[in-house]
Each structure stands twice: as structure tokens, then as C-alpha cells.
Amino acid sequence: RARGGGGGGGVGVAPRRSAGPPSPCAGSPTAERKAPKATACSPIEPLGEGNIRIREVEVEVDQGAMGLSRRKSSNGEGTSAGAEAEAAEAGGSGRLFRRVGQATLFSIRAAASNVESMRDVPLKRRVQTLSVLTWLSGVALFPLLTIPICIYLIFATRLSLLVIAYITWFVFMDRSPKNGTRRRLFSRLGVWNHIRDYFPIRLVKTCDIEPNRSYVFGYHPHGVISMGALVNFASYATRFDEKFPGLNVHVLTLASNFMMPFLREWILWMGLCDASRQTCGNILRKGGGECILLAVGGAEESLDAHPGTYRLTLKNRKGFVRVALKAGASLVPVMSFGENELWTALPNPDGSKVRNFQESMKRLLKFTFPIIHGRGIFNYNFGLMPFRRPIHSVVGEPILIDSPCDVTTDEGRRRVDEVHALYISKLKELFETHKKKYNIESTIEIK
């Protein structure tokens, strides 16, 4: 083929056909319709610095169609039935060539659009996307790799004794997941600022909280992975330590996360602890601003993480109230607007096959997850990355508990019911007060 003239993106020239005997159908209207001239199509804009043109693809498509036409016309000795069959075959093949060509053109134009759009993305947004991708990949993939890595280090390297000693230490000796004694070295890392700005995530303070008490923060809704809870309370990216000085909040998560080598160190240095009653008591009894945060709805509520809905699993969840009353800790409701907007989940109404499967998984493995999709790394329509949608976590007014209470007595159980009803009332009031600020039209549903 001959390409366009040099410099400055000249117009491509259609290639010449090889010399040969003229087609019997040349010049006929039918042949002209089946083989349109290549010069009738105009090239698209060049991609990047090169002069990528579409003309050559279109010429190949037209040449394929014309070749079929020549083969049809050269077989003049066949019967009329054979000629008709061959004509039908040639027409179908010609349409196939055209469709392949159209698909190729569409792909090239789409690639051009993506390249141009990527060039317009500021560097800081790329860094934000990379930071979120790194965090989510670590949470999702790192647990699957730690066991094979440890097996390799034990059986294939000279580090076997060191790895065995490490595993023995954290399984039998390390009590930091139970008492929250690790320093929060990772809570101030700069990567959390990029993750915060990706969505963005904001922490909203409605009142002062005295640092001379212990508190149980209830986080609602759970969402898919409680991203707002991690950024606002497990890191200092949203200035929690400045807005609520003197408070040290430990986000509680599944105890199984602390049985994963290496990953456990990562989350421990962010202040996370396991979500057991023993851990709650150990931390809250310290007093003096030591706090815990629970996503009260848990895995059950994550199945209702659909955009535009606030369906909370809370009606029969009284364990966090018992923990607070037993330790004499005050309760703080937190409503996180936008937590359910980060992914789109597959519909799973109660009683559906999808919901039944997810419930069975929760009973068997003690955790479950919604079937979700979000955006991609280089596109905005489909993938597993969360959408860039804002999260506003509003911290409500504390429900003060002045003294511990024995929750096993009849009076204690009545006290639990009273505080639980008061908590739900305060949470609804918090939702109704602030939902208009964040363009929320739905209502809260307690189940």
C-alpha cells in the first residue's frame, strides 16, 4: 500500500489493484454497488503522535467484497442454480466482511476516544485511582497469597525457622487484636489522603464529645466494605484526631482477618481489632477516651447495600447495647450518607435464589458478600472499582451511660430495650435532619 504524503498527517492514498484481466462485470451498476470506492470514506483523526488511519481497513473490506464478485463472474459455465447459490454465498461473505470491518472501525474509534480521555485525566486523579486499587487489591488478594508465600518460605528457603517462629508468635502469644495495644503507625500514611479524595469522603461533626468517657460508635449502613468507616475512623485522613481530640477509636472486624500472616500487621497498625465481646470489654474498660466502632448491621446488612436505599438491620441487634451498658460506655450513632452508592449490587429480594445462596454462605462461613459491579480502571461503566461518589459520615450526639449495668437481670434487660429504642430514635432523627443536605430522597427502613 502507499501511505499518505510525509509530514503533518497527509491524507492516505488508496492502494492500486494488481494488473489482470478486467472483470466481466466491471462498469456495471451491480458491481459498483457491491464494491464501493475506498476514497469515499474519510479517515478519523490521528491517535497520539502517529498518523493512524482507518482508510486501509476499509480498503481491505472492499477488496474482499470485490474478490468475491470476481469469483462469481468468472464461473460463467455453471448452471443457473449453482450461480444463484454462489451469488448468495458471495453476498453473505460480503456482509461478513463489512461487519468485521465495521467492528474494527468501532474498536479503533473507541481506543482513540479512551486515549484522548486518558490524556485529559489530571495526574492527581490517577494517583487516587491507583491508591484505591492498591488498597482493595490488598484486602481482596493478599489473604489468598499469604498462605502460599509462607509455605514457600518454609519449604524452599532458609527463612523457615523465622517464619515458623512468626506464625507461632501471632497464633499463641500476640494479644494485640484483643486489647488494641498496637501503635497506629499506618493511620497517618499519605495514601489515605488520596483514597479520601477519590470519592471524596468527609467526616461531619455535629457536637463535641467529651474525651473522659468510653464510647461505642454504631456505624450505619454497613455498605459493601464500610469504606467510610475505614477512612474516617481507622485513618486520620479526615482529621478525626483534631475534630474529636482525646478519642482513640478501634474499628472492629472479623477475627479471621488476624489469622492471616502479614495482613494482620497491616490492619493492626491501623488500630483495628477483632469483633468479639472479650475485645469490646478489654478496650472499653480502659476508659479515658478508648472507643470501639461497630458496623452494627454486619454481613446481613451488606446484602441490602443497593444505591438509593437505607435498609438497616437493627431491630433485633441489641448486642452492641449490652456491651455498652455492661462497660458503662456511652453510645454514639453514625449515619454515613453515600455508603451504599459505591457499587451496584445484583437484585436479591428476600426469598430469591440469590438471597438464599448468600444467606447459606453466611451461615456456613460467618460472612457473605453482595454480587456487585462498579467502574473500571480505564472506563466509567463496568468493573470492580468503586464509583467516585461522595460519602458523608455524620457523627451524632452521644447517648450518655453513667454507670455499668448488669444486663443479665430483668431490670438490666429492660434497660437494654429502653436504650436500644432510644438509639433507633436518635439514629432516625439524625438521618432526617441531614438527608436533605446530601440530596437523599429515600427514607430509612429498620428491619
Are 311 and 333 within 8 A, CB to CB? no
Residue 359: pLDDT band with limits 50, 70, 90? confident
Q: Is the pLDDT of residue 38 over 80?
A: no
Q: Residue 31 — pLDDT band, cuts 50, 70, 90?
A: very low
Q: If we measure between CA atoms, which residue out of 426, 217, 236 comes closest to residue 331?
A: 217
The pLDDT of residue 41 is above 80: no
Is residue 430 over pLDDT 50?
yes
For 146-177, what is each residue's pLDDT tens digit? 889 999 999 999 999 999 999 999 999 999 99
CA distances from 112 to 46, 105, 363, 447 (A): 8, 11, 48, 49
Q: Which residue has the higher pLDDT, 78 or 392?
A: 392
pLDDT category at 233 given cuts 50, 70, 90 is: very high
Amino acid at 184: R
What contacts 178, CB < 8 A, 6 or more positions away?
273, 274, 276, 278, 279, 282
Q: What average pLDDT does range 239-249 have in this prediction?
A: 95
The answer to whether 260 and 146 have CB atoms below 8 angstroms apart is yes
Query: Given pLDDT bands bounded at 50, 70 and 90, which one contains residue 45?
Result: very low
Phi/psi class of residue 197: alpha, beta or left (left: φ > 0; alpha: ψ in -120 to 50)? alpha
Question: 75-92 burial, b if ≥16 CB within 10 A, otherwise e?
Answer: eeeeeeeeeeeeeeebee
- pLDDT, residue 99, reads 67
Phi and psi torsions of 384, nearest 5°:
-115, 0
281: left (phi over 0), alpha (psi -120 to 50) or beta: alpha
Of 360, 380, 379, 376, give the one whose Cα is nearest residue 368: 360
Overall residue count recorded for the chain in this entry: 447
Grid cell, residue 84, equals 444463484
Residue 121: band (very low, low, confident or very high) from pLDDT cuts 50, 70, 90? confident
- Comparing C-alpha atoms, which of 395, 399, 424 is closest to residue 213? 399
pTM > 0.95: yes or no: no
CB atoms within 10 A of CB 215: 26
C-alpha–C-alpha distance, residues 369 and 52, integer Å: 45
Q: What pLDDT, on the 0 to 100 scale, is given for residue 365?
A: 76
Q: Note the pLDDT of residue 49.
A: 42
pLDDT digits (tens, 9 = 90+) for 272-300: 999 999 999 999 999 889 999 999 999 88
pLDDT at 80: 52
**Which residues face 394 on adjacent strands?**
204, 335
Cross-strand bridge partners of residue 293: 217, 251
Average pLDDT over residues 319-331: 96
Residue 183's SS3 state is coil
The residue with greater pLDDT, 235 or 55, is 235
- pLDDT above 70 covers a percentage of the chain that reads 74
pLDDT at 10: 44
Q: Is the pLDDT reported for residue 410 higher than 50?
A: yes
User: Which range among 43-52, 207-216, 320-329, 432-441 shows the weakest confidence by mean pLDDT?
Assistant: 43-52
What pLDDT, on a 0 to 100 scale, did the predictor assign at position 145? 87
Check residue 22 and give its pLDDT: 46
Confidence of residue 309 (pLDDT cuts 50, 70, 90): very high
Q: Give the model's pLDDT for residue 86.
A: 53
The predicted-structure confidence for 48-91, as pLDDT tens digits, reads as follows 444 444 444 444 445 544 454 444 444 444 445 455 545 555 55
pLDDT band at 118 (very low <50, low <70, confident <90, very high): low
Kindly provide the b/e burial profile for residues 357-371, where b requires at least 16 CB atoms within 10 angstroms of the residue's own CB: ebbeebeeeeebebe
**Among residues 169, 218, 130, 129, which one has the least CA distance to residue 419?**
218
Pick from 264, 203, 262, 258: nearest CA to 230:
203
